Amino acid sequence: MPTSSSSGSFNVALWPTHLSMSMGNAVLLLMLSRCSTKCLIEITSPGPRFSQLLIKPISLACANLGSIDHGRQVHCHFIVSEYANDEVVKSSLVDMYAKCGLLNSAKAVFDSIRVKNTISWTAMVSGYAKSGRKEEALELFRILPVKNLYSWTALISGFVQSGKGLEAFSVFTEMRRERVDILDPLVLSSIVGACANLAASIAGRQVHGLVIALGFDSCVFISNALIDMYAKCSDVIAAKDIFSRMRHRDVVSWTSLIVGMAQHGQAEKALALYDDMVSHGVKPNEVTFVGLIYACSHVGFVEKGRELFQSMTKDYGIRPSLQHYTCLLDLLGRSGLLDEAENLIHTMPFPPDEPTWAALLSACKRQGRGQMGIRIADHLVSSFKLKDPSTYILLSNIYASASLWGKVSEARRKLGEMEVRKDPGHSSVEVRKETEVFYAGETSHPLKEDIFRLLKKLEEEMRIRNGYVPDTSWILHDMDEQEKEKLLFWHSERSAVAYGLLKAVPGTPIRIVKNLRVCGDCHVVLKHISEITEREIIVRDATRYHHFKGGKCSCNDFW
């Protein structure tokens, strides 16, 4: 820490050194919290050169900590100072505001710079991309005078972080066409992340090949990204292979594979890997325990989940976050312990947020606790401005299950006023290096007739062979049974599976990604199809991964 004089003021000569050397956010936060406006003025007063030394680490600290109030104090001081037009200082301020998401403030400072440097240009491009402002990011990037690997990486990484994986791929492809030398693996880590988010296994393997060709396969954080990518692309075997080949592993390496196994229903293997991790002297982190409790939640290991939750604090001094409490609540709810789950909500040291209540509401629906579900749904509507479309869908389903069509309409009206958007159900399937997307109820596909005939043939065989009867309770609309069966028939995952059976290489697994939770009837149907066709079907839905094989699912119907 910077030393103090006998009068209690900071030794200003030591600030640049200390700020530059302080890597921990906790240290920076303490330094900034002790740094009043008067102190900031004092430490930046010796002259323009000294201010340049200080503003970058101070603004970076403010950005990393989200301490925009301190950042604005510094900015205000510079505005009235003799060096208010210092362009190095302004570039650092642009970077600070952009990283804090205050893009209008960043743009105002950016526009005031006469000779803009790489830092200011890249900060604005990155800020727009991270905020999902695609057009503004691309427009600014196109007029950037000098594009280097750093600026390309900032744009690609920003798009990945804002969930615009396809845009990230497009920019990465353009970068390769421009023959930009990849001397730093950070851009590869970002594009691997895009593959993971999109579950684009073919593209992911191509990027993996590029990683090897460029000699970055020994880089730990690249290997960690590849483990995560393969797990999210439903190829846990490939993820394990990357892990086993690593010479050096950090906590992220172990945690990525633990989480991947947990998501694919391999709870026992995830827990065994955790024991192996501890035996190797690697200390778990907060994310490790999220993955472990999640693993327990999806196979019903209640006591083991409780034990791990207690171990966080007792053995590792990790204070459980709201996410950990939500995972524990989900475990209790999925195991039918709804009263205990609700009690946890009222006693945990955090105010429950929308996802926490939604986890309990989902458990009520799954366990058939209709009255409790309606009470919680009413609480959600009255207490929150809902932001997650999946909560909206769950809310509607709870009311519809009780045939409360008036409340369904009222909830949709209110949620519409709150600008909550319901994403249409859709499923994508990767076949022969191409991705095909199907929407629920879609009947306009060029192979519509072939898909219809195959699904009809499979349904008839399911009825005869397995005694299948459509479970229309999953159609939450006020209509007759025949119409409900028709809606079930054209659920997007069924069309995607049929397309995969028609077009994929015979005998290869069919990989589906769905944006919503697979309904119970489709879950039954996909089990039957996997048995009849003797094909493995892997589905990544909004909740977890399902491996259908030989008439069974890896989730053991616990999802």
When pLDDT is averaged across residues 293-299 and rounded to a whole number, the result is 90
Mean model confidence pLDDT for the chain: 85
Q: In 3D, which of 468, 508, 510 has the Cα closest to residue 488?
A: 468
**Got the DSSP string for 246-269?**
-SS--HHHHHHHHHHHHHTT-HHH
pLDDT (0 to 100) of residue 53: 57
Distant-in-sequence, close-in-space partners of 90: CB < 8 Å, separation ≥ 6: 109, 110, 112, 113, 120
User: Token pair of 552, please?
Assistant: 């069974």
Q: Report the C-alpha gap between 295 and 301 in whole angstroms.
A: 8
Asked whether the predicted pLDDT for residue 31 surpasses 70, the reply is no
Which helix H or strand E contains 228, and what residues bound it? helix 220-232
pTM of the model: 0.79
**Got the DSSP string for 257-323?**
HHHHHHHTT-HHHHHHHHHHHHHTTPPP-HHHHHHHHHHHHTTT-HHHHHHHHHHHHHHH-PPP-HH
Asked whether the predicted pLDDT for residue 95 surpasses 70, the reply is yes
Confidence of residue 100 (pLDDT cuts 50, 70, 90): confident
Q: What are the pLDDT digits (tens) for 406-443?
A: 888 776 676 566 554 556 789 999 888 788 999 988 87
Burial of 133 (0-12, 13-18, 19+ CB in 10 A): middle
Q: Is residue 477 part of a domain?
A: yes
Please provide residue 548's backbone torsions phi and psi, each rounded to the nearest 5 degrees.
Answer: -95, 125
Long-range contacts of 131-139 (CB under 8 A, 24+ apart): 131/101, 131/103, 131/162, 132/162, 132/163, 132/164, 133/103, 134/159, 134/164, 134/167
Number of domains in the chain: 1
* 3 state DSSP class of 438: strand
Distance of CA 159 to the CA centre of its chain: 13
CA-based angle 523:339:356, to the nearest 5? 65
CB 476 within 8 A of CB 401: yes
Q: What are the pLDDT digits (tens) for 164-204?
A: 988 999 999 999 999 999 999 999 999 999 999 888 888 99
Q: In 3D, which of 542, 544, 547, 513 has the Cα closest to residue 530?
A: 547
Asked whether the predicted pLDDT for residue 34 surpasses 60, the reply is no
Asked whether the predicted pLDDT for residue 143 surpasses 70, the reply is yes
Q: Is residue 187 part of a domain?
A: no
Q: Is residue 520 part of a domain?
A: yes
When pLDDT is averaged across residues 204-226 and rounded to a whole number, the result is 96
The share of the chain scoring above pLDDT 90, in percent, equals 54
pLDDT (0 to 100) of residue 512: 94
Q: Give me the domain span that covers residue 536.
A: 427-553
Q: Is residue 514 part of a domain?
A: yes
Distant-in-sequence, close-in-space partners of 395: CB < 8 Å, separation ≥ 6: 361, 377, 380, 381, 386, 411, 415
CB 404 within 8 A of CB 483: no
DSSP state for residue 472 in the 8-state scheme: G
Higher pLDDT, 62 or 220: 220
CB 512 within 8 A of CB 427: yes
User: Token pair of 175, please?
Assistant: 């970068």
User: Token pair of 205, please?
Assistant: 């393997």
Q: Report the C-alpha gap between 537 and 416 in whole angstroms.
A: 36
pLDDT (0 to 100) of residue 321: 95
Q: Is residue 131 part of a domain?
A: no
Q: What are the pLDDT digits (tens) for 35-87?
A: 544 454 454 454 444 455 566 667 777 777 677 777 777 777 666 666 667 77
Residue type, 136: E
pLDDT (0 to 100) of residue 313: 95
Which residues, listed in sequence order, are joined to residue 427 by a DSSP beta bridge?
438, 514
**N-to-C CA span, the chain:** 50
CA-based angle 105:111:117, to the nearest 5? 105
Q: Is residue 384 part of a domain?
A: no
CB 300 within 8 A of CB 335: yes
Q: What are the pLDDT digits (tens) for 467-523?
A: 999 988 777 667 788 888 888 899 999 999 999 999 999 999 999 999 888 888 999
Q: Is residue 452 part of a domain?
A: yes
Using N-to-C axis directions, what is the helix angle for 134-142 and 149-161, rounded to 10°? 170
pLDDT (0 to 100) of residue 38: 45
CB 243 within 8 A of CB 253: yes
pLDDT (0 to 100) of residue 2: 42
Distance of CA 174 to the CA centre of its chain: 25
Q: What are the pLDDT digits (tens) for 441-470?
A: 887 889 999 999 999 999 999 999 999 999
Q: Report the C-alpha gap between 71 and 359 in whole angstroms.
A: 37
Q: Is residue 496 part of a domain?
A: yes
Which helix H or strand E contains 552, and what residues bound it? strand 552-553
Q: In 3D, which of 118, 74, 78, 112 has the Cα closest to residue 96?
A: 74
DSSP state for residue 13 in the 8-state scheme: G
* 3 state DSSP class of 151: helix
Look up tokens 């609480």; give the residue: 379
Q: What are the pLDDT digits (tens) for 302-353?
A: 999 999 999 999 999 999 999 999 999 999 998 999 999 999 999 999 999 9
The alpha-carbon radius of gyration of the chain (Å, integer) is 27
Asked whether the predicted pLDDT for residue 398 surpasses 90, the reply is no
Q: Report the C-alpha gap between 414 and 409 in whole angstroms.
A: 9
Q: Report the C-alpha gap between 243 and 256 in whole angstroms.
A: 9
Higher pLDDT, 392 or 46: 392
Lowest mean pLDDT across 36-40, 112-116, 282-286, 542-546: 36-40
